[in-house]
Amino acid sequence: MVQRILEAGDIESLDHSAIPRIRTPERLAVFSARAARLRQLAALSNPIAGYLRLMAALADAQQAVMTGFKAKPPSAELIASAQQHSMPLIPALSGVRDPAWHEVLIQLLDKLQAAGLLTPPLEALIAKLRTLDAATLESQADAIFAQRFAEVDPASAPFIMAALQVVWTDLAADIDKRDVPYLETLGLCPVCGSHPVASTVRIGGVHDNYRYLQCGLCATEWHMVRSKCSNCDSTKGIAYHTLGSPDADAATKEAESSKAALKAESCDECHTYRKIGYQSKDYDFDPFADDLASLTLDLLMGEEGYRRASPHPWLWPEQTDTATDPSSESD
């Protein structure tokens, strides 16, 4: 009865065993923290350091554009309907998309060009992006959200995604956590319905030692128990992989694994993996930036026979003739 008259937030503060379900992005810091982390990772003799610095400039541009931007928030009717049907609050794939992101894309390109890191091929790509009409932009967004790889242009997708991220992150930063519906699919973002990029075991305060998946679009984080696969909900066959010395003995490998701030969490039910970071080992871990900067771990996982559960939003697979259907599900 007490619970009926208290708001959800009050209950959480009364009951210390309650796990906060949702962490919303911080409007003034989400993209700048990502940019700082990308630069930090680029400085650690990363094989793709130049690319990471360029992407840090893109994240800086996102932060700058979001400061002067406000998306149209969902109506009370839309919120009620999403809750009633256990659907994402502001779905990215279905529903009417706010075309404001087209202008956001142009502003991001302006800022990226002003940052002065562009090579001639990138200048050409940006010139091409500026000429895309609204229908082409929307169909690219559809293909990206539906993960129809054959229709996604891998070169322009990161920039299109960056513009969409500004709009959805702006919306997610302002939502009331209590409005966020409970979805039946635990592995999709309850705010926008997109796939998570990676997860973090957080430290400190009410989130201490809990695992949160971070949305690749709106940066909302939602709680998921660590014993479950974020792709298929299986609790069987979960294993962790780290980059270490491949020829080391078992004891050395064990020690390397226990120190690692970043691991790949694989599932033998669906044969996919997502990365997981431990803030207790590296406080600055950022799921979006750290996933992008750890391609060597992706190579290792490919060699071990696992595929990514979903692509990194800024790194789309090149199309090949033999591409397998990413939506196919085996049992």
Q: Segment near Zn ion (CB under 5 A), from 55-63, 74-82, 119-127, 226-234? A: 226-234
Structure-derived torsion over alpha carbons of residues 116, 36, 224, 313, reported in degrees to the nearest 10: 10
Q: Which is nearer to Zn ion, 62 or 220 (CB)?
A: 220
Residue 301 contacts Zn ion per CB under 5 A: no
Residue 197 contacts Zn ion per CB under 5 A: no
- Binds Zn ion (CB under 5 A): choice among 191, 201, 292, 297: 191
Looking only at Cα atoms, what is the longest distance across the chain?
Answer: 66
Shortest Cβ distance from residue 101 to Zn ion (Å)? 14
Residue 270 contacts Zn ion per CB under 5 A: yes
Any residues with CB less than 8 A from the CB of 279 and at least 6 apart, and which?
200, 201, 202, 203, 204, 285
- Binds Zn ion (CB under 5 A): choice among 42, 137, 213, 215: 215
Q: Judged by CB under 5 A, how many residues of this single chain contact Zn ion? A: 15
Q: Sign of the CA dihedral 168, 185, 150, 117?
A: positive
Residue 264 contacts Zn ion per CB under 5 A: no
Q: Which is nearer to Zn ion, 234 or 279 (CB)?
A: 234
Residue 186 contacts Zn ion per CB under 5 A: no
Shortest Cβ distance from residue 264 to Zn ion (Å)? 13
CA 69 to CA 168: how far, in whole Å?
Answer: 11
The angle subtended at Cα 47 by Cα 306 and Cα 302, nearest 5°, is 10
Q: How many CB atoms lie within 10 A of CB 168?
A: 25
Q: Which is nearer to Zn ion, 40 or 266 (CB)?
A: 266
Q: Which is nearer to Zn ion, 55 or 217 (CB)?
A: 217
In the region spanning residues 230 to 259, those forming contacts with Zn ion, defined by CB under 5 A, are 231-232, 234
**What is the DSSP-derived secondary structure letter of residue 322?**
T
CA 202 to CA 212: how far, in whole Å?
Answer: 7
Whole-angstrom Cα Rg for the chain: 20
Shortest Cβ distance from residue 152 to Zn ion (Å)? 19
Q: Which is nearer to Zn ion, 41 or 306 (CB)?
A: 306
Shortest Cβ distance from residue 84 to Zn ion (Å)? 20
Residue 144 contacts Zn ion per CB under 5 A: no
Residues facing 97 on adjacent strands = none
CA 235 to CA 311: how far, in whole Å?
Answer: 22
Residue 189 contacts Zn ion per CB under 5 A: yes
Q: How many CB atoms lie within 10 A of CB 149?
A: 21
Q: Helix, strand or coil for residue 282?
A: coil
> For residue 148, what are the CA distances in angstroms to 142, 152, 283, 328?
8, 7, 35, 12
Residue 192 contacts Zn ion per CB under 5 A: yes
Q: Segment near Zn ion (CB under 5 A), from 100-108, 131-139, 200-208, 227-235? A: 227-235
Q: Segment near Zn ion (CB under 5 A), from 55-63, 133-141, 175-183, 223-231? A: 223-231
Q: How many CB atoms lie within 10 A of CB 77?
A: 8
Q: Which is nearer to Zn ion, 39 or 274 (CB)?
A: 274
Query: Which residues of the chain form contacts with Zn ion (CB under 5 A)?
Result: 189, 191-192, 194, 215, 217-218, 220, 229, 231-232, 234, 267, 269-270
